[in-house]
Structure 1
């Protein structure tokens, strides 16, 4: 587990049972930007039934399975944000901004022809999760989030149903034990 003060782009936040906000219940959030003004991330495990091709037609063909729009968070749910995985870290297309390794944010205003071939997969999110300065640190300190290292594959899983459990299970030590914790410990 990463120390709570070590949040950085690419870090994952896993909602704990202490987090009361229904927008984030049982979510996995990948941080895309962290600075003195706050943090921005996307919820990785909330697919919608809406196909990307229905909303952003030219991007549908480049989307990773499932080719649906994901609900990225409660902020600006009418806007779209995309992440992409480069095929080759040495060949960075126009409109791509690296987050960590080959994973980055993709500007959806970029013509598809300029990125096709250089991108191994795209995922599009409606909305995002955002925190003001120190807000995320306070939520971590109060026990709302487990802070763990992310992997590029976490953002492109075809089936995100068990993502929270699988990410937690791969953690060292006692943290992995939380995968067996019941939603309501009083029922145990």
Structure 2
């Protein structure tokens, strides 16, 4: 089993029945002794970023909608971004792993121009208390797998869950072919 750490993906297993996380892919942004925090990558909303955060709609990757990052603090937003170059870090950017990081949404957009390769904004986040995530992984609710750069900014995240599983070795790849509703099988 791969260690859960910032920059890794959590992929919901068929055993995870919580409707907040069924068939989700979560990007971990922070993992420490106090707990873990991440955002769900494959839950776009119908709300355009520009309708909620003036000016940011022109900066985000397509689709230019808010994503449902998780059930915690849904009135707040997190901006996940990738730098064009690791040595060109703009004001308001905090690295998570390599070129991946968080952008402070209070930063003037002009200060970010030319520095980012991709940006996505998430309403809310997924959070776990100390040892909670480790327990859920141990009980078989999550697979922990490496993220690839395109995972975060896909134009259409509909098949992200299946695609991430499909590229894994062994039984995980097999799970990518299961129907979303096993009763229809």
TM-score range, shorter chain: over 0.9
1:104 to 101, 104, 118: 101
* Aligned match of 2:150: 153
2:51 to 47, 54, 59: 54
Q: Distance in 2 between matches of 1:156 and 1:42?
A: 13
Query: How far did 1:121 drift?
Result: 1.8
Stretches of structure 1 that go unaligned for 5 or more consecutive residues are none
2:89 to 86, 92, 99: 92
The structure that is helix-richer by fraction is: 1
* CA shift digits 1:150-188 (9 cap, x unpaired): 112100000000000000001112210111123454654
1:173 to 156, 161, 170: 170
Report runs of 4+ in structure 1 exceeding 6 Å deviation.
Answer: none
Q: Distance in 1 between matches of 2:19 and 2:158?
A: 17
C-alpha RMSD of the superposition: 1.2
SS at the partner of 2:55?
A: helix
Q: Distance in 2 between matches of 1:109 and 1:31?
A: 22
Q: Distance in 1 between matches of 2:72 and 2:62?
A: 24
1:10 aligns with 2:17: no
* CA shift digits 1:58-86 (9 cap, x unpaired): 21111000000000000000001000111
1:137 aligns with 2:121: no
1:22 to 11, 19, 22: 19
User: Residues 183 and 106 of structure 1: is their aligned pair in 2 closer, same or farther, counting only changes over 3 Å?
Assistant: same
- State the TM-score, normalized to the length of structure 1: 0.95
- State the TM-score, normalized to the length of structure 2: 0.96
Stretches of structure 2 that go unaligned for 5 or more consecutive residues are none
Q: Distance in 2 between matches of 1:125 and 1:77?
A: 9
